[in-house]
């Protein structure tokens, strides 16, 4: 029966479960409610160097169980520390002569055969017949070749009181075979010649060694070994993936993300670029809109469209005039913020406030691209690369865990996670300004320089009236409002007409800078969207390949 596919998490869970089973002691009589009566194995070596194994397992379930599981090592450590892997393909599984449902999958160094269904159990006697094909598990020596096979392994839920193994080699008579049997401690082994083969029997787990003349079984050639190596070590090629991704992303950034040079070096600018509101300039300089909401509210207040009143730890916005010299995105912002009201409080999350903020941010990104400052919408560019990065990270974690369970190496997981990380790393740098946008952005950086160290340029603002309020929204969008307020503390001795502090408090420009920080935090909180509700070995009683064990589930 063809093995059914397994989900990733089932594979990981089964891997853990099988590891627990591997450590089970064979002396645990009747563990798991199963008793074994016999174990038989018929092995036929083919001329192509592979061999077929037919196992017959009989016993009884003392309590309802789903079925048996069998695990066989397929990866072995050589004396030099390297790993030798054999190929094992399950051809059929039968219970009491009828086809039985099963799953065959890799779990670390083991091939696991899990027989039965989760929603079906039975008790009583059973006979299971397993047939599987093995490649790359013969030992090719100078004078003769050898099958060295651990027939049973010793990690079983219950003892195996009767074990037999029959070995036949294509093209060889019984007299051509030289054999040895390695039973478990305290057991004996009986040898019997059968037609064209040898039968060995023991009262417990055993390993068999059968040597036969050269050229009866052909040693795998270079092409076959290369194919096996590639199949076993495919994950070693995964480091190419992040390297290729980095080169592609770097090339894309150089040609589609790196900004033109603008007007470097940056020099102090004393006036904002004509025609750009604070939120627009902030979006252009950083390709971000974190402070756009607060800067727009203060800018509208400075221009007389609304007032800000601090009441203890709360703030209230009052609409003064809804019309005037407003850009389309500002008009839409006011409409959404007040929704026909004249006053809005910021004491908690407000759906209208959050909606107004989202609309403002979307409009800023969109029209900065439409007006020729960005090649494409910055948010769209970042989002596309970030989504790819997150998807690759998810694939890396999920499929990488499965690959690690199969190969025993986390290379695929690390490579895919690194690839996803590169996409996330490049995402913020992918929005590209036009030449026009780069020039204006550099002027914005010059204005930020001026606002950050305003005391240095005292002669520029000392005699100018209204300079504090005029540039305050720009200081907010650049994150330097406290520095701007402190520098102009001596000049700005009166509270702005659009701002009212707590009752009984005296005006102080330096304290006002801190008040602005508190106000910005309140705006961000009010407009934030509400959140929606141990290992074991395949027992080797003499070495070689094969081994493992089994039990019930």
Rounded mean pLDDT, 151-160: 88
Average pLDDT over residues 282-297: 88
Helix (H) or strand (E) holding 449: helix 435-452
> Considering the chain, what is the average pLDDT of its residues?
81
**pLDDT of amino acid 64:** 92
Between the alpha carbon of residue 176 and those of residues 42, 195, 196, 306, the distances in Å are: 18, 12, 9, 103
pLDDT at 527 over 70: no
Spatial distance between the Cα atoms of 78 and 308, rounded to a whole number of angstroms: 77
How confident is the model at residue 22, as a pLDDT? 41
For residue 274, what pLDDT is reported? Answer: 87
Helix (H, G, I), strand (E, B) or coil at 319: strand
- pLDDT of residue 26 exceeding 50, the answer is no
Q: What is the pLDDT, as a whole number, of residue 513?
A: 58
Tally of CB atoms within 10 A around 376: 14
pLDDT for res 185: 77
Residue 171 tokens read as 């093209």
Tell me the C-alpha distance between 210 and 166, whole Å.
10
The contacts of residue 340 (CB under 8 Å, 6+ apart) are none
Cβ atoms of 145 and 187 closer than 8 Å: no
Backbone CA torsion sign across 260, 264, 268, 270: negative
158-176: pLDDT as tens digits:
888 899 999 999 888 877 8
Summarised one tens digit per residue, pLDDT across range 407-424 is 667 888 889 999 999 999
- Centre a 10 Å sphere on the Cβ of residue 41 and count the other Cβ atoms it contains: 22
pLDDT of residue 407: 67
Q: What is the CATH topology of the domain spanning 8-18+26-232?
A: Immunoglobulin-like (2.60.40)
DSSP string, 189-239: EEEEEETTEEEEEESS-EEEEEEEETTSSPPP-HHHHHHHHHHHSGGGGTT
> What average pLDDT score do residues 342-357 get?
77
pLDDT of residue 10: 38
Contacts for 157 with CB less than 8 Å, ≥ 6 apart: 21, 24, 28, 31, 32, 34, 550, 551, 552
The region of weakest confidence among 133-142, 520-529, 542-551 is 520-529
Cα–Cα dist 437/260, whole Å: 9
Average pLDDT of the residues in 346-367: 82
Range picked from 73-82, 183-192, 314-323, 360-369 for highest mean pLDDT? 360-369
pLDDT tens sequence across 454-465: 777 776 666 667
198-220: pLDDT as tens digits: 899 998 899 999 999 988 888 88
pLDDT of residue 81: 74
Percentage of residues of the chain with pLDDT beyond 70: 82
Q: Check whether 502 has a pLDDT greater than 90.
A: no
Mean pLDDT check: name the lowest of 3-12, 138-147, 313-322, 402-411: 3-12
CA distance 25 to 29: 9
Percent of the chain clearing pLDDT 90 (strictly above): 31
Q: Is the dihedral of CA 415, 418, 420, 423 positive or negative?
A: negative
pLDDT at 114 over 50: yes
Is pLDDT above 80 for 78? no
Question: Is pLDDT at 531 greater than 60 in this prediction?
Answer: no
pLDDT value at position 262?
65
Q: Is 14's pLDDT higher than 90?
A: no
Q: Which of 237-241, 434-438, 458-462, 495-499 is predicted most confidently? A: 434-438
Instruction: Indicate the burial class of 489 (C-beta count within 10 angstroms; 0-12, 13-18, 19 or more).
Output: middle
- Compute the distance between CA of residue 173 and CA of residue 407 in angstroms, rounded to an integer: 39
Instruction: Categorise residue 502: left if φ over 0, alpha if ψ from -120 to 50, beta otherwise.
Output: beta
Q: Does 96 have pLDDT greater than 90?
A: yes
Which residue's structure tokens are 């930020």?
Answer: 448
pLDDT digits 0-9 by tens, 249-279: 999 888 887 877 766 688 888 889 988 999 9
Residue 500 confidence (pLDDT): 83
Nearest to 221 by CA among 49, 59, 74: 49
Q: Kindly report, residue by residue over 229-241, the tens digit of the pLDDT.
A: 777 777 778 888 9
Residues in the chain: 553
DSSP symbols for 453-507:
TGGGGHHHHTT-TTHHHHHHHHHHHTT-HHHHHHHTTTT--S--TTEE-STTPPP
DSSP state of 429: G
Residue 32 banded pLDDT, cuts 50, 70, 90 = low
């Amino acid at each position: 029966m063809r093995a059914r596919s397994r989900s990733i998490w089932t594979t990981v869970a089964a891997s853990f479960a099988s590891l627990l089973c591997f450590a089970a002691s064979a002396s645990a009589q009747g563990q798991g409610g199963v008793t074994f009566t016999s174990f038989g194995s018929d092995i036929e070596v083919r001329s192509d160097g592979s061999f077929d194994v037919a196992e017959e397992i009989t016993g009884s379930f003392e309590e309802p169980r789903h079925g048996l599981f069998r695990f066989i090592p397929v990866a072995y450590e050589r004396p030099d520390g390297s790993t030798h892997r054999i190929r094992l393909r399950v051809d059929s599984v039968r219970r009491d002569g009828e086809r039985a449902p099963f799953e065959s999958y890799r779990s670390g160094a083991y091939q696991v055969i899990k027989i039965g269904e989760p929603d079906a159990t039975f008790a009583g006697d059973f006979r299971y017949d397993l047939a599987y094909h093995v490649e790359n598990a013969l030992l090719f020596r100078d004078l003769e070749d050898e099958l060295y096979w651990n027939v049973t392994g010793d990690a079983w839920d219950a003892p195996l009181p009767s074990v037999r193994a029959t070995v036949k080699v294509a093209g060889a008579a019984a007299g051509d075979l030289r054999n040895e049997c390695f039973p478990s401690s305290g057991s004996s082994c009986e040898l019997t010649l059968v037609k064209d083969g040898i039968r060995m029997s023991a009262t417990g787990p055993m390993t068999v060694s059968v040597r036969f003349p050269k050229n009866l079984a052909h040693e795998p050639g270079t092409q076959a070994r290369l194919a096996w190596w590639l199949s076993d070590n495919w994950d070693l090629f995964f480091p190419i993936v992040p390297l290729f991704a980095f080169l592609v992303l770097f090339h894309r950034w150089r040609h589609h993300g790196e900004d033109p040079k603008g007007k470097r070096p940056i020099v102090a600018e004393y006036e904002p670029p004509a025609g750009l509101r604070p939120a627009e300039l902030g979006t252009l300089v950083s390709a971000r809109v974190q402070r756009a909401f607060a800067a727009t509210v203060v800018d509208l207040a400075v221009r007389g469209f609304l007032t800000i009143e601090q009441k203890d730890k709360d703030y209230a916005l009052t609409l003064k005039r809804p019309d005037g010299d407003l850009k389309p995105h500002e008009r839409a912002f006011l409409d959404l913020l007040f929704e026909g009201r004249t006053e809005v409080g910021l004491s908690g999350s407000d759906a209208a406030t959050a909606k107004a903020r989202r609309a403002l941010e979307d409009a800023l990104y969109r029209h900065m691209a439409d007006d020729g400052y960005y090649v494409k919408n910055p948010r769209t560019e970042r989002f596309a690369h970030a989504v790819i990065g997150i998807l690759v990270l998810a694939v890396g974690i999920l499929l990488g865990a499965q690959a690690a369970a199969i190969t025993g190496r986390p290379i695929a997981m690390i490579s895919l996670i690194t690839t996803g990380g590169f996409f996330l790393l490049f995402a913020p740098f992918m929005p590209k300004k036009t030449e026009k946008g780069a020039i204006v952005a550099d002027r914005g950086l010059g204005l930020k320089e001026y606002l950050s160290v305003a005391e240095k340029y005292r002669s520029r603002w000392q005699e100018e009236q209204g300079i504090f309020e005029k540039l305050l929204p720009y200081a907010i969008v650049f994150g330097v409002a406290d520095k701007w307020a402190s520098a102009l503390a001596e000049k700005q001795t009166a509270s702005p007409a659009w701002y009212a502090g707590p009752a009984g408090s005296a005006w102080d420009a330096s304290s006002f800078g801190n008040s602005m920080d508190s106000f910005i935090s309140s705006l961000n909180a009010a407009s934030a969207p509400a959140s929606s509700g141990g290992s074991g070995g395949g027992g080797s009683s003499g070495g070689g390949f094969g081994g493992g064990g089994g039990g019930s589930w």
